Chains A and B, each alone.
Chain A
Amino acid sequence: MNVGPHYTLYHPRWYRRRVSVWWWLQKRSYTGFVLRELTSVFVAFFAVVYLWQLRALAQGPDAYAQFLARLKTPLFLTLDTVAFLFVLFHAITWFNLTPKAMVVRARGKRVPDWVIIGSNYAAWLVVSAAVAVVLLRG
């Protein structure tokens, strides 16, 4: 049958699968990705704890002592441990992915990824040591 070029006589019914809301549980790498994204919640948790600490500082030595005492409770120790693990996960994934986003070229060639990642970890150690020294020396 001769029909015009814009008329489709028979168009097959395509099948489209709907993406389940549990898509992120269906593959290990997807779950790892969502866990990585959820580290941001614990990053925010830290910010809120420090904000609270600042507020306690502003209110005087008693409020500050109360704040420090609250940090010793099992609830906060547990929260802090979980948060610390997640924040570590954030740092490690962040450092490992940095060379993907920032391509450094030296003398015409791309600097290899391990150099960038290694520098990140080295800087991390230096920074952490510096912070620890400042906070412990008082």
Chain B
Amino acid sequence: MERITPLLWLLFSAGGTVAAFFIPIHLFLTGLAFPLGWLEAPSYESVLRLMGRSPVRLYLFVIISLPLFHWAHRFRYTLYDGLQLKHLTMLIAVLCYGAALLGTAVTAYLLWTIP
């Protein structure tokens, strides 16, 4: 665990940067503007058309996967420090990074198989 801490921190930093730059606008549009009708949501066909290009799929992979690793690292430390769950430290780490890995795998699978 100690040997890969720099890697985990790099993933956390990259994820945090991606989250800071890209998530606000995406969340605003998908979560608020489109459902509330302030702006017109893209149709099913146009979304599929957008996703026809690999850069878009790569972009989606990055904005889903890296933020998951950002969450995993930060949440793990918050549980460890905030709730003082020292005795569960290995379990927490496995659950957090495991969840991020699982999410990454599912994302990759979906992005590979969508027509």
Contact = CB atoms under 8 A, between A and B. Distances in A.
In the complex, A touching B, CB below 8 Å?
yes
Interface of A: 19, 21, 24, 34, 37-38, 40-41, 43-44, 46-51, 53-55, 57-58, 61, 64-65, 68, 71-72, 76-77, 79-81, 83-84, 87-88, 90-91, 94-95, 101, 123-124, 127-128, 131-132, 134-136, 138
A34 B84 CA distance: 13
A116 B49 CA distance: 37
B2 interface: no
Contacts of A138: 42-43, 46, 50
B5 interface: no
A136 B24 contact: no
Contacts of A51: 64, 103, 106-107, 110
A28 B84 CA distance: 19
Contact of B44 (A64, A79, A101, A132): A64
A57 B28 CA distance: 20
A126 B64 CA distance: 20
A5 B11 CA distance: 52
Given A47-B103, A71-B30, A138-B42, A58 B23 contact: no
Main SS at interface, chain B: helix
In order of increasing CB-CB distance, the 4 nearest A-B pairs are: A80-B31, A44-B71, A138-B46, A128-B25
A80 B27 CA distance: 7
A63 to B, nearest CB: 10
A41 B71 contact: yes
Contact of B31 (A40, A44, A84): A84
Interface residues of B, number: 54
Contacts of B84: 19, 21
Contacts of B110: 51, 54-55, 58
A59 B38 CA distance: 27
Contacts of B26: 46, 50, 131
A54 B111 contact: yes
Given A57-B114, A80-B31, A94-B20, A44 B67 contact: yes
